[in-house]
Structure 1
Amino acid sequence: MKHSPVAGDGGSRFTRRLRLEPVGPANADDLWLVHGDDEVWPWYAKEKPSREQVEQWAQAMGDSWRVHGVGKWIAYDRVSGEVVGRGGLGRTPVDDDWGRIYAFLPEEPWVRVAHESHRPSVVHANWVEIGWALRHECWGRGYASEIGRAGLAFAFDVLGVQAVVSCTDRHNMRSRAVMERIGMRDAGELWSEEFEGEQGNPPLAVRVLLRSGRNRSSATPT
């Protein structure tokens, strides 16, 4: 299924096996195939999202591309056109929650600088978060690493950010393996009182890749 790119997103991007299309409202059906997957949604929420929620996410992702110049992609198989998953980047809010990530970043002024656009919220200008989610039938084929490498290339070569961070459930060994495979460095765990003693809500494993360390990583686009 072919969709028109969201305005201002720079268009489609390609990896060896995937076509990456910026998410917007027109991609809501395809986004639902990913986040409605019964093997996927439990990693992101305590209950399955509604179709209406996914439509709102697609709208918000499209807004991110237009306002902040970055967002998530839907990944399609280049040959079959089938939906593989979603992934990409997001600018993180300047708030107390994301402020906890400062502990894993260099003590430099660029870390706290806000993006010039304050719509729809104030976000960081010089570092972004990377992530991915695949339909379960696509697991184990290296697609997440392909999306991750494309995301790192976009972050450093197009956006020109200073750092990329990634966070996942401590028990999500598949995602942690992808982070390591694409060259992100183990930074520790994000732990706070809200996680203590809450079964099923463990600390987050945090990995970081700095621009200065990129050449020593395996973050090479496929």
Structure 2
Amino acid sequence: MEDPSLAGADDSRFTRRLRLEPVGPANASELWAVHHDDAVWPWYGGEMPTLEQAGQWATFMGDSWRLHGVHKWIAYDRKTGEVVGRGGLSRTPVDDDWGQIYDFLPAEPWVRVAHGVHDPFVAHANWVEIGWALRGAFWGRGYASELGRAALAFAFDVLGVQAVVSCTVRHNVRSRAVMERIGMRYVGEIRSRGLVEGVEGERDDAPYAVCVLLRGDWERSAATPAVP
């Protein structure tokens, strides 16, 4: 992967197989293609999004890149140009829902500090969420882990955050496996609106598995020599 210090927050980034482009209004159709995929949309409210909805999401993500310096990328296959998925980071709102994460982070002042720019919402300054969604044709080939590792490098080496968190509904075993594969540690569960295994539709008390990676653990892993 390229040296993350060589690129700005809104630049293209590259991994071994992927080209990552910050999502903005111009990427609405690609974002729609990801979330319209049969392997993806059932995890997000149980309804296929319209192109108009995808456009609204893309505009919001573009605003977040501009104002908060980060949000999701569209991931393209570097050889074919195909849309593989979307993923990366986002700042988390300072609200009661995300406040549940405080119990899993160090009891230090940086945890509750708000980002200096309060648009498009008041967000945490020193920790971000990581996530990914890949089209079904690309599952099982290591792309999610590749995307996840690129996002971790961006979080710690470019944004300089103190922690990265990831949340997924308890029964999303594939996503949980990716979290562990990229070095994140399972810390517990929170309850929020989402899907419950075996229950139709969303519920307000769905169980979410939470994983965390702290800056110190990232730096130690980066300093550990690879096993030949």
Same fold (TM over 0.5): yes
Once the two structures are TM-superposed, the CA of residue 104 in structure 1 deviates from its matched residue by: 0.9
Residues 141-179 of structure 1: CA deviation (Å, up to 9, x unaligned): 000000000000000000000000000011111100000
- 5+ long unaligned stretches in structure 1: 1-7
Q: Which amino acid aligns with 2:211?
A: R
Once the two structures are TM-superposed, the CA of residue 44 in structure 1 deviates from its matched residue by: 1.4
1:76 and 1:83 in contact (8 A); partners too: yes
Once the two structures are TM-superposed, the CA of residue 218 in structure 1 deviates from its matched residue by: 7.5
Greater strand content: 2
Question: What's the counterpart of residue 3 of structure 1?
Answer: none
Question: What's the counterpart of residue 16 of structure 2?
Answer: 16
Q: What is the alpha-carbon distance in structure 2 between the residues aligned to residue 37 and residue 195 of structure 1?
A: 18
Q: Secondary structure at the match of 2:48?
A: coil
Distance 1:11 1:171, change over 3 A: same
Distance 1:218 1:134, change over 3 A: farther
- 5+ long unaligned stretches in structure 2: 1-7
Choose 196-205 or 36-45, whichever is displaced more. 196-205
Q: What is the alpha-carbon distance in structure 2 between the residues aligned to residue 205 and residue 219 of structure 1?
A: 28
Q: What is the alpha-carbon distance in structure 2 between the residues aligned to residue 130 and residue 154 of structure 1?
A: 11
Question: What's the counterpart of residue 215 of structure 1?
Answer: 219
2:111 and 2:126 in contact (8 A); partners too: yes
Once the two structures are TM-superposed, the CA of residue 219 in structure 1 deviates from its matched residue by: 11
Q: Secondary structure at the match of 2:99?
A: helix
2:169 and 2:196 in contact (8 A); partners too: no
Q: Equivalent residues in 2 for 1:6-85 (5 A)?
A: 9-85=9-85
Residues 124-153 of structure 1: CA deviation (Å, up to 9, x unaligned): 000000000000000000000000000000
Once the two structures are TM-superposed, the CA of residue 51 in structure 1 deviates from its matched residue by: 1.5
Q: What is the alpha-carbon distance in structure 1 between the residues aligned to residue 25 and residue 163 of structure 2?
A: 29
Q: Equivalent residues in 2 for 1:125-136 (5 A)?
A: 125-136=125-136
2:123 aligned with 1:98, yes or no? no
Residues 48-81 of structure 1: CA deviation (Å, up to 9, x unaligned): 2221111100000100100000010000000000
Count of matched residue positions in the alignment of Structure 1 and Structure 2? 213
Q: What is the alpha-carbon distance in structure 1 between the residues aligned to residue 116 and residue 31 of structure 2?
A: 29
Question: What's the counterpart of residue 5 of structure 1?
Answer: none
Q: Secondary structure at the match of 1:171?
A: coil
Question: What's the counterpart of residue 205 of structure 1?
Answer: 209
Question: What's the counterpart of residue 187 of structure 2?
Answer: 187
Once the two structures are TM-superposed, the CA of residue 41 in structure 1 deviates from its matched residue by: 0.8
TM-score w.r.t. length of structure 2: 0.88
Residues 81-120 of structure 1: CA deviation (Å, up to 9, x unaligned): 0000000000000011111111111111000000000112
Choose 191-200 or 206-215, whichever is displaced more. 191-200
Choose 42-51 or 198-207, whichever is displaced more. 198-207
Q: Which amino acid aligns with 2:10?
A: G
Q: Which amino acid aligns with 2:217?
A: G
Q: What is the alpha-carbon distance in structure 1 between the residues aligned to residue 80 and residue 61 of structure 2?
A: 25
Q: What is the alpha-carbon distance in structure 2 between the residues aligned to residue 193 and residue 75 of structure 1?
A: 27
Residues 6-65 of structure 1: CA deviation (Å, up to 9, x unaligned): xx7331000000000000010011111100112211111132222111110000010010
TM-score w.r.t. length of structure 1: 0.90
1:152 and 1:219 in contact (8 A); partners too: no
Q: Percent identity, please.
A: 73
